[in-house]
Amino acid sequence: MKDFAYTRDFKSRVLIFAILLAASIIVVIPYIWMLSNSFKTTIETLTDPMHIIPQEFTLDGYIKVLTKSPFFKWLGNSIFITCFNTIVILFTSTLVGYVFARFKFRGRDFLFAMLVFTMMVPAQVTMITTFIIIDDIGLYDSVWALIIPSFVNVFGIYLCKQFCEEIPRELIESARIDGAGDFAIYWRIVIPQIRPAIGALAIFTFMEYWNDYLNPLIYLSSTEKMTLPLALSYFSTQHSTDLSATMAASALIMIPAAIVFIIFQKQFIKGLSMTGMK
């Protein structure tokens, strides 16, 4: 009986492993392909792009990205926009989420419903009007065009509200009796209680703005104001694409995102599983 259970267990383990392995390969292949091509010469990327091991290993792509383009300027732009947005969104989302979860005021549910409703409208629908407003207030071709419209993030508010609702009422009441004001309660009691949500939201937001291609493309025109994802288009001309440089740039762009994920992955997974992405 024990042997049978063992074999059955073993078989199912092998099966699960095989499925996961196959799925992992499908997910990982594009990244390996990208890395492999970033180490090939431009000619080789064009003639033999599918070969994983480069015939002639070269760092030309990386050198070109780092020396022939204002890469570090773009990196600075990307870091500034992404970090600024992430910090502001974390602040506004936790604060507004807490208010929606814990304060009673007239029209609260209606306001929240309106906010959630905006989540259902695709960004493309408001793209033109947003562009006109940004242009009108003179923010076209400014990094602020990518920052100011992002101050409030409905998903973040929603996520934080869900987490704030889970905080026991007595904890907040106890702090109130202990002499904490509303902001002190928010800062010293609520924020530490919703750390998993903050971790998850930080990663979501970071990824969103780090990888954002469309908005920088719409609002930025000068080369020195571009962000990293736009750099990918920098190496493409109308007639040809420098695949080696593009892949090298892609690989470089990925590094900070990977670092952020590795640092926060525990909280990220906790945040995902706790919310169930309700």
Q: Interface with other proteins by CB under 8 A: which residues?
A: 168, 170-171, 173-181, 184, 188-189, 192-193
Q: Judge whether 211 and 61 are in contact, CB under 8 Å.
A: no
CA-closest candidate to residue 141, choices 73, 222, 230, 234: 222
Q: Would you say 92 and 155 are in contact if contact means Cβ atoms under 8 Å apart? A: no
Minimal distance, residue 167 CB to other proteins, in Å: 10
The first and second tokens of residue 262, run together, are 């590795």
Q: Which is nearer to other proteins, 175 or 252 (CB)?
A: 175
- Residue 107 Cβ, how far from other proteins at the closest point, in Å? 11
Q: Which is nearer to other proteins, 35 or 180 (CB)?
A: 180
Long-range CB contact pairs, 44-47, < 8 A, 24+: 45/243, 45/244, 45/247, 46/243
* Closest separation in Å from C-beta 97 to other proteins: 18
Residue with Cβ nearer other proteins (122 or 168): 168
Minimum separation from the CB atom of position 176 to other proteins (A): 5
Q: Which of 251, 255, 245 is nearest to 69 (CA)?
A: 245
Q: How far is the CB of 90 from other proteins (least distance, A)?
A: 17
Closer to other proteins by Cβ: residue 101 or 145: 101
Closest CB to other proteins among residues 30, 181: 181
Query: Which of 42, 86, 66, 40 has its CA nearest to residue 253?
Result: 66
Of 197 and 249, the one with the shorter C-beta distance to other proteins is 197
CB of 184 to other proteins, least distance (A): 7
Concatenated DSSP letters of 206-227: HHHHHH--HHHHHH--SGGG--
Alpha helices (runs of H) in the chain, residue ranges in sequence order: 2-38, 42-47, 60-68, 71-102, 108-120, 123-136, 144-147, 154-165, 169-177, 182-184, 191-193, 195-211, 214-219, 228-234, 243-275
State in angstroms the smallest separation of the CB of 224 from other proteins. 44
In the bound state with other proteins, the residue whose beta carbon lies nearer, of 176 and 270, is 176
